[in-house]
Amino acid sequence: QNCQNLRGRRILITAAGTREAIDPVRYIGNRSSGKMGYALAGAAAGRGAEVILISGPANLPAPPGVSITRVETAAQMQAAVLAEFDTVDIVIKAAAVADYRPELVADQKIKKTGNTLTINLVKNPDILFELGQRKKQQILVGFAAETKDLMIHAREKLTKKNLDMIVANDITLPGAGFNIDTNIVKIIHKDGAVEELPQLSKQQVAEILLDKISTLLTKST
Confirm or deny that 211 is annotated as ligand binding: no
- Quote the CA–CA distance of 131 and 91 in Å, as a whole number: 9
Measured over the CA atoms of residue 98, residue 99, residue 105 and residue 108, the dihedral's sign is negative
The verdict on whether 30 is a catalytic residue reads yes
CA angle in degrees (0–180, nearest 5) for 147-178-94 = 90
Q: How many CA atoms lie within 13 A of 69 on its CB side?
A: 17
Residue 48 or 176 having the CB closest to ligand C5P: 176
Confirm or deny that 53 is annotated as ligand binding: no
Confirm or deny that 210 is annotated as ligand binding: no
Residue 47 or 93 having the CB closest to ligand C5P: 93
- Quote the CA–CA distance of 159 and 70 in Å, as a whole number: 29
Which residues contact ligand C5P by CB under 6 A?
Answer: 74, 93, 95, 97, 99, 124, 126-128, 142-144, 157
Smallest separation, CB 122 to ligand C5P (Å): 12
- Quote the CA–CA distance of 42 and 21 in Å, as a whole number: 30
Nearest residue to 48 via CA among 6, 1, 92: 6
Confirm or deny that 157 is annotated as ligand binding: yes
- Selected catalytic residue, list 5, 30, 115, 120: 30
Residue 12 or 95 having the CB closest to ligand C5P: 95
User: Where is the binding site, in residues?
Assistant: 99, 109, 125-128, 143, 157, 161
- Per the annotation, binding residues for CTP are 99, 109, 125-128, 143, 157, 161
